[in-house]
Amino acid sequence: MSPAKTPLIGLKADQFRHPLDLEATQALKQLPGLDLMIRSLLGPLAEQVFYLDNIASSILVSDQQLPHLHQLLIEACKILDLELPQLYIRQHPVPNAYTFAIRGRQPFIVVHTSLLELLNPEEIQAVIAHELGHLKCDHGVYLTLANIMVLAAGQLPTLGGMIAQTLQSQILEWVRCAEFTCDRAALLVTQDPKVVASLLMKLTGGSPTLASKLNLDAFLSQARSYDDVSNSDLGELLKQAQVAPLTHPVPVIRAQEIDRWAGSKTYQTLLQNGKNEYNSEASSKGGWRNW
């Protein structure tokens, strides 16, 4: 681990959870039987579909396979105080990463090759840490439903269609809120807001040839221009319509949110507590088995 980074042993999810994530999760918990349906009915089937797909068509990262990526995963887990999930690398032209977790099972993370080609090692670790944030915050049950809707619609068309018709709007709203929390997890691991903002910038308009030429300060200035659209009622309505079908908040808003949180007392206190208390006093609470 880099000597400049602070491991946060004993870190709890609610210490960095975004308030919108908490609010949206509480709303989903009010839907009767949803948790049981996912865990008992949809989860086991989806788990087998995704596992077979990954083991057949992706590379499982380990100390023997792409060890530089495995080391990034190990360090991120140490900082967030998590057990190691599986990490797969998948050949795919669309930059993306996603996580799957069912209670009591070992979760896994999948990262697309096209995303790796855009990023430097620190930014790749930020992606891994973002996905670990889903595990740290127990997002598994509802994230499973979101992944079924988005990733398995072609593999489970009837089931995916039924879910999409009844829950799509609320699930998408929840997953957008959860993304803000996971960006915070990425910051806790990288401990540099510029790394997370740069990652978001490259996801917005990067390519292997353009990524190194992008200007982060200009991107953050662009984010402020997006805010100005809200000065009119029409602009605010258009922004809401733009976001409604998305699985993630727009990148400029995510960059703003992480920039603000990096300057917050909450973030600074977490790092300071890590230096002064976690390393010497706190016992490890683990992570993805704390359901």
Catalytic residue numbers read 131
Q: Which residues contact 23 (CB under 8 A, 6 or more apart)?
A: 177
Neighbours of 208 (CB within 10 A): 11
Nearest to 192 by CA among 127, 257, 123: 123
For residues 255 and 223, the answer to whether their CB atoms sit within 8 Å is yes
For residues 54 and 111, the answer to whether their CB atoms sit within 8 Å is no
Q: Which residues pair with 100 in a beta bridge?
A: 108
Q: How far apart are CA 140 and CA 101, in angstroms?
A: 5
**Residue type (1 letter), 279:** N
DSSP summary character for residue 288: T
Rounded to the nearest 5 percent, the helix, strand and coil shares of the chain are 65, 5, 30
Nearest to 13 by CA among 132, 128, 167, 142: 132
- Which residue has 């595990």 as its token pair? 135
**What is the enclosing helix (H) or strand (E) of 218?**
helix 216-228
Q: How far apart are CA 248 and CA 175, in angstroms?
A: 7
Question: Concatenated DSSP letters for 69-134?
Answer: HHHHHHHHHHHHT----EEEEE--SS--EEEE--TTS--EEEEEHHHHHH--HHHHHHHHHHHHHH
Q: How far apart are the first and last CA of the chain?
A: 28
Q: How far apart are CA 184 and CA 16, in angstroms?
A: 7
